[in-house]
Homo-oligomer: A and B are copies of this chain.
Amino acid sequence: MQNKITISVDAMGGDNAPNEIVKGCIESINDDSNIKIYLVGNNIIINEQLEKYTYNKEQLEVVDAREIIEPCESPVMAIRRKKNSSLVKGLELVKEKKADAFVSAGSTGAILAGGTFIVGRIKGIERPALAPLIPNKKGVSLLIDCGANVDSKASYLVQYAKMGSIYFENVLGIKNPKVALVNIGEEESKGNLLVRETYPLLQKENINFIGNIEAREIPQGKADILVCDAFVGNIILKYTEGFALTMFDMLKKALLQDTRSKIGTLLLKPALKKFKKGFDYTEYGGAPLLGLEGLVVKTHGSSDAKAVKNTILQCKKFANQQINQKIKQNINMI
């Protein structure tokens, strides 16, 4: 038997809002009758979009929210002032336990601030962490933290490792996932103060800690969970995206340089499509903000309907596996 899940979705956040967000929501409820969605945002605009689709009206409710949080605003101030924004109203539904999860493609800073101040941290968690998946040769790795904790302490990183393990094992279904500390060398003595302090602490934890991982080995998929502070995590996450895009650009240019290459490219179309798919963020769903008293998921700013749908389905797995319950048990076991 499948459990029902209710998700509040920020209809107004992201580059393709609200059209693609609405479309993704419709696709997910049409796919799965156990999902209910609160679509939060300007109800006039949302209803206009909804008219295009056929769906079970009981599975979707529009929650009106008229204020917009601009990307340039201070996240904390915006959360405090704009009580009628889709972000604040969507998060409040999680806080009030009316929704199991909140999904937004809006500004990362505002989602982080809102998640922390509105939904609140799990007792014992020092800092919540944003944990996106990045592609590698074998599949994906969870990169934790990519959030706001740029000047981290070793104790934060230890909690990231534990939360990341629980998430990966339960949501991605990999038993006893390999946890590695992102460092500039393999030996325990390598790295800056933070990682040198973190290494022995990770060894003591009941996780599958495989030691340091050098950045060179990340794309090979040697570890499932990559532990680092948010500054390093952010660099890796954004570099992955920028590098892949640039390589595709350069490849495209090389492939269309002359007639011979153009014919070759035509023959290779299916193969190249398959290759590119491995780097497609829309396949992997969103990045959960782990350590909160509810599930908050940030999807890519340029998410399309497919990415939104995949993120919603991912939320269902998260709730069904009672990730937060497991994080709580694990943190209190220290």
Contact = CB atoms under 8 A, between A and B. Distances in A.
Contacts of A264: 263-268, 271
Given A137-B250, A218-B239, A257-B271, A231 B150 contact: no
20 contacts: A137-B250, A151-B192, A184-B230, A184-B234, A184-B238, A215-B235, A218-B239, A218-B243, A219-B247, A220-B242, A231-B232, A232-B232, A235-B236, A239-B243, A251-B251, A255-B271, A255-B275, A260-B270, A265-B268, A268-B268
Given A260-B270, A263-B267, 19 more contacts: A137-B250, A150-B184, A151-B193, A184-B230, A214-B238, A215-B236, A216-B239, A217-B242, A218-B243, A219-B246, A220-B242, A232-B235, A251-B251, A257-B274, A261-B267, A261-B271, A264-B264, A264-B266, A264-B271
A239 B250 CA distance: 18
Interface residues of A, number: 55
Nearest to A190: B150
Interface of A: 136-137, 150-151, 182, 184, 191-193, 214-220, 229-232, 234-247, 249-251, 254-255, 257-258, 260-261, 263-268, 270-272, 274-275, 278
Contacts of A267: 260-261, 263-264, 267
Given A218-B242, A255-B268, A268-B268, A184 B235 contact: yes
